[in-house]
Structure 1
Amino acid sequence: MNTNPCTLTTGEVRFSYLHVFQPYAQQQGAEPKYSVTLLIPKTDVATKGLIDAAINAATNNGVSSKWNGIRPPQLFICVHDGDGGRPSDGMPFGDECKGHWVVTASNKNAPFVVDANVQPILQQNEVYSGMYGRASITLFPYSSNGRKGVGCALNGIQKLRDGEALSGRVSAEDAFGTPAPGTPAYGAVPPQAPVYAPQPQAPAYPAYAQQPSAVPAGYPQQPAGPQIDPITGLPV
């Protein structure tokens, strides 16, 4: 059972910028970390209350352990208003952030990733930006590069249900439309007329030599005999 006032489990949130299987560097040269952005509905006042309480506890820890006993007049907090501007450049958050609190949690160590039955999810394609679930996070104080504030560490996530992907990828159907019925797929071999096997033919038998009607050239001709009168029987 959790007794750390800085650690909490959220209600159902939507996951964005999800990197829980491989660490990811937000900027070139930055240290890769496992991370996820949590989109917390503003209607979930219970989760927001838990986060506010954890921020207060982390701030008190920071006064005693990080900030030399002084609460900084300007404290950077990891919770942002999705209906406002990004803290980095002031530009509006994406449409998916409207009506939500936006919190980015990260960790150098790999978080646990489980399903609704608290069983490990091994198929990475089941986990993606846009799905819904819960997260275990820990708020902590920090002092880095002249900034003092309260950050958010990611302990793990639980997938509860699917949602529309937020990857920004375009499907082939969206790009090119649905092919007309009967349109052959690219690379498919068009049907050809069937080729029938040739019918067997009767074997050719050797031609027998024909008897010459005349004596071949080069042989002496035999003289013709006398003609016989068929009535008298005498030579004509």
Structure 2
Amino acid sequence: MADTRIVVRGRLSYVHLFKPHAAVQGQEEKYSTTILIDKRDTKTKVKIDAAIKAAEEYGISDRWGGVRPVKINSPLKDGDGTKEDGTPYGDECKGCWVINASAKVDYPPQVVNAKVEPIMDQSEIYSGIYANVSINFYPYAYMNKRGIGVGLGNVQKIKDGESLAGGRNAQQDFQVVQDDDMPW
């Protein structure tokens, strides 16, 4: 049987790796990120498909009472398609597979650089970096839904990228102010 735990390489978005976050107020806070995987990376897609299949088999034997559900919610989304609510994914998702991964507050990810040294400066980690991400696919059964979730493991930053958040660079927003520029 294939392993449900794999390492994928992609661009990160909606990055919450140092402090847990809840997308909706009142929800459980978790460490999380969205991983954008280039569709041209067919080797990674094969690994993902095998890990999802292994998680489904585990779900049938362990979580879903020996029965394959009619509908299994997949964690792998098409960035060229639409979200569950019918709205299109953002431009950064075009040409990518989209995976949302999270970890409970008791399991913070280790965040390291290319030399596997801990990253202490949180400003080095932002939406837009490229990283290797350890993820684990697992079956769930919750409120009459059956599917495969994605647990967030550790993160290795491998390259800077253009910020997806916009406005991160103060030098782009402002210019030097001289005393005689002040109106008061």
Displacement of 1:27: 1.1
Relative contact order: is structure 1 or structure 2 higher (C-alpha 8 Å, sep ≥ 6)? 2
Give the residue type in structure 1 aligned to 2:74. I
1:10-62 deviation per Cα after TM superposition (whole angstroms, max 9, x unaligned): 1x310000000000001121100000000000000111111100001000110
Partner residue, 2:98: 102
Query: Where do residues 152-171 of structure 1 align in structure 2 (5 Å cutoff)?
Result: 152-169=150-167
Partner residue, 2:114: 116
How many residues were matched structurally? 179
Whole-angstrom CA distance in 1 between matches of 2:166 and 2:131:
20
Unaligned 5+ runs, structure 2: none
Where does structure 1 differ by over 2 angstroms across 4 or more consecutive aligned residues? 168-175
Q: Does 1:38 align with 2:30?
A: no
What secondary structure, in the 3-state scheme, does the structure 2 residue paired with 1:21 have?
strand
Query: Where do residues 164-183 of structure 1 align in structure 2 (5 Å cutoff)?
Result: 164-169=162-167
Whole-angstrom CA distance in 2 between matches of 1:170 and 1:116:
23
Q: TM-score, normalised by structure 1?
A: 0.71
Whole-angstrom CA distance in 2 between matches of 1:134 and 1:171:
25
Displacement of 1:129: 0.6
Query: Where do residues 15-30 of structure 1 align in structure 2 (5 Å cutoff)?
Result: 15-30=12-27
1:51-89 deviation per Cα after TM superposition (whole angstroms, max 9, x unaligned): 1000010001101111110011100011000000012x1
Give the residue type in structure 1 aligned to 2:116. V
Cα contact 2:14–2:34 (8 A) shared by 1: yes
Q: Which of 51, 69, 83 matches 1:54?
A: 51
> Could you say which structure has the higher helix fraction?
2
Unaligned 5+ runs, structure 1: 191-236
> Could you say which structure has the higher strand fraction?
2
Whole-angstrom CA distance in 2 between matches of 1:6 and 1:168:
34
Partner residue, 1:134: 132
Whole-angstrom CA distance in 2 between matches of 1:159 and 1:73:
38
* Rg larger for: 1
Give the residue type in structure 2 aligned to 1:154. L
Whole-angstrom CA distance in 1 between matches of 2:120 and 2:2:
29
Whole-angstrom CA distance in 2 between matches of 1:22 and 1:90:
30
Q: Does 1:73 align with 2:70?
A: yes
Give the residue type in structure 2 aligned to 1:44. D
Give the residue type in structure 1 aligned to 2:137. L
Cα contact 2:2–2:50 (8 A) shared by 1: no
Identity of aligned residues (%): 44
Q: Which of 170, 174, 177 matches 1:185?
A: 177
